[in-house]
Structure 1
């Protein structure tokens, strides 16, 4: 007798126009799904704490491994190499760059939208506005949503990236450099931004009204084509985490606060910055198109893709 997950998977395969291509014996022994908890990925934190992934894949006799690969570029490289099957939290920029450069990556759902979670910060005695950044050194990860935020915020102030010294650093290094006074400002997100504020720093701009980043869930295209039932098993676990967050908000916040090593008050504040609904929308497509346009204008990307047709699986627009 088929399990509910297997029946749902068959429905997914039919909707996506995918004929089952493998028998049960052909299924992998292990599925590798990245675990990314920062900046504030509550569904992933809940999924791990509650064992929802292991529960979802148990009927298939499949073991789940969760490598902690936080870089979007590294996740795409791992997908391209077949080292992981699902990138659970993937920046739209990384997904687009990967697809445009030939990586077999498909978007199966949205993960989050959080413009207020991305900011440009300075120390208390540092620049007070984006206009004040002219001639200053700004640290942060290049080729990311934060890079896009910096460029867009500068443009709004009548400046360009060439008006600042933009130093490429990961979030932890950028936060440390800012607090040590080695740079004038930093582009930060989530708990890294909170840490600067708690140390007396200030936000001089965030993404609200400037950019509208969409973080997605990416899979290896071959895995989606061959194992739509396993992709549905993953999505079922993700939905279960979202249901838990809705039904047990205090416990979900506590789990997130413990994982991020922040206070419950800070966790509650950050939760208000995020929309975790998984259904992709036309607005998400437009946001991703804006990210692609930014990458082209900044010289990061030469070959463009059709976001909706090339990158996003049709089922992603029908999810609930």
Structure 2
């Protein structure tokens, strides 16, 4: 399953993605002061997402027209990506306004940009696993093996490297180390089938696709978090865009809430819509067993699970994705989301103090 060549932005930003994320140590600086909000509806909203089950609310919102309906006269332009670091490069480069993205790249974007992005909502919890060849049953058996993650610094890459360190496993080459190979998810599946990879720490549906190809679950990331909840996918936006077009962002959030309500209230149809969308983007649909398993491994929530982000920031340091812990003061801006939730008669979500400027 590969993204079609009609989306060249992925290729152009991939070269600079590592550079964009490499120097996240500026997190200690205070976020840039905000200009006064104009409240003018935007002429266009450029939105990013992945063709993954973990981005089902985005796929459903697009397919069912929930975003377009709420945005009204604002033109919606969309761009799919394979992994978060590429999306961050495009967002910070000014070619995107908002994006569904993993939690670790969201933190890195905030740190690197000195507060030029804000996290405004959640989307998906769970749905990531370390799946390996069936003969591997203990962490020590990963020594001398090659394990894939989608991209250096992405959410699963950080989780895997943190887990390796917790299990006293060294990253590198040789019989006593674990080689971490960053690969596009479709390539990971191909190489696992051919025996060239021992497995991967992957998001859905890719962990389920490897299971379908014979892999076994060694670690379900849900087991590493309280109550099994951690933010796999969140929604971020450029701070300037949020300040200049709060009504447009509120419309985007209303569309997302409609998509999440649809996914939770109509699970069978949600699977069909998501699978059809993935097929359109990648020329390949998921087998029914893979689709069912993938959906069972995650949940959808507009709550960003803010209380988990201080730990996620520490994990990025542990994994070597950042040099020092990101100061998260001002990272979240949930004013628009809580206004949308209040208008819909739903409870507000907690920013865990991360909406306060440092």
TM-score by length of 1: 0.81
Structure 1 residues 93, 202: CA separation in 2 closer, same or farther (over 3 Å shift)? same
Structure 1 residues 302, 123: CA separation in 2 closer, same or farther (over 3 Å shift)? closer
Q: Distance in 2 between matches of 1:70 and 1:22?
A: 33
Which structure 2 residues correspond to residues 154-233 of structure 1 after superposition, within 5 A? 154-162=164-172, 163-211=177-225, 213-214=230-231, 215-233=233-251
Structure 1 residues 316, 181: CA separation in 2 closer, same or farther (over 3 Å shift)? farther
Verify the 8 A CA contact 1:100 1:304 in the aligned structure 2: no
| Cα offset, 1:20, TM superposition | 4.3
Q: Residue 108 of structure 2: which of 92, 97, 101 is its match?
A: 97
Verify the 8 A CA contact 2:50 2:81 in the aligned structure 1: yes
Q: Residue 246 of structure 1: which of 248, 264, 271 is its match?
A: 264
1:71 maps onto 2:83 in alignment:
yes
Residue 34 of structure 1 aligns to a residue whose secondary structure is: strand
Corresponding residue for residue 311 of structure 2: 290
Corresponding residue for residue 315 of structure 1: 335
C-alpha deviations, 1:276-315, integer Å up to 9, x for none?
A: 11123xxx334222222122233321354332x2211142
1:234 maps onto 2:244 in alignment:
no
Corresponding residue for residue 10 of structure 1: none
Q: Distance in 2 between matches of 1:144 and 1:273?
A: 19
Corresponding residue for residue 275 of structure 2: 257
Q: Distance in 1 between matches of 2:123 and 2:286?
A: 22
Q: Distance in 1 between matches of 2:199 and 2:264?
A: 36
Structure 1 residues 306, 256: CA separation in 2 closer, same or farther (over 3 Å shift)? same
Q: Distance in 1 between matches of 2:198 and 2:37?
A: 55
C-alpha deviations, 1:179-208, integer Å up to 9, x for none?
A: 211122322221222222222222222212
Q: Distance in 1 between matches of 2:274 and 2:59?
A: 6
Structure 1 residues 297, 199: CA separation in 2 closer, same or farther (over 3 Å shift)? closer
Q: Distance in 1 between matches of 2:146 and 2:51?
A: 29
Structure 1 residues 37, 167: CA separation in 2 closer, same or farther (over 3 Å shift)? closer
| Cα offset, 1:19, TM superposition | 5.8
Structure 1 residues 35, 159: CA separation in 2 closer, same or farther (over 3 Å shift)? closer
Larger mean CA deviation between 203-212 and 62-71 belongs to 203-212
Corresponding residue for residue 21 of structure 1: 38
Q: Distance in 1 between matches of 2:267 and 2:241?
A: 33
Q: Residue 106 of structure 1: which of 107, 110, 118 is its match?
A: 118
Q: Distance in 1 between matches of 2:53 and 2:263?
A: 17
Corresponding residue for residue 57 of structure 1: 71
Q: Residue 297 of structure 2: which of 255, 263, 273 is its match?
A: 273
Q: Distance in 2 between matches of 1:266 and 1:168?
A: 23
Q: Distance in 1 between matches of 2:131 and 2:171?
A: 16
Verify the 8 A CA contact 1:40 1:256 in the aligned structure 2: no
Q: Distance in 2 between matches of 1:210 and 1:234?
A: 32
| Cα offset, 1:92, TM superposition | 1.1
Q: Distance in 2 between matches of 1:258 and 1:32?
A: 22
Q: Distance in 2 between matches of 1:153 and 1:67?
A: 32
Instruction: For structure 1, list consecutive stretches of 5 or more residues without a partner in the other structure.
Output: 1-16
Structure 1 residues 44, 317: CA separation in 2 closer, same or farther (over 3 Å shift)? closer
Corresponding residue for residue 136 of structure 1: 145
Flag the structure with larger Rg.
Answer: 1
Corresponding residue for residue 118 of structure 1: 128
Q: Distance in 2 between matches of 1:295 and 1:153?
A: 12
Structure 1 residues 100, 20: CA separation in 2 closer, same or farther (over 3 Å shift)? closer
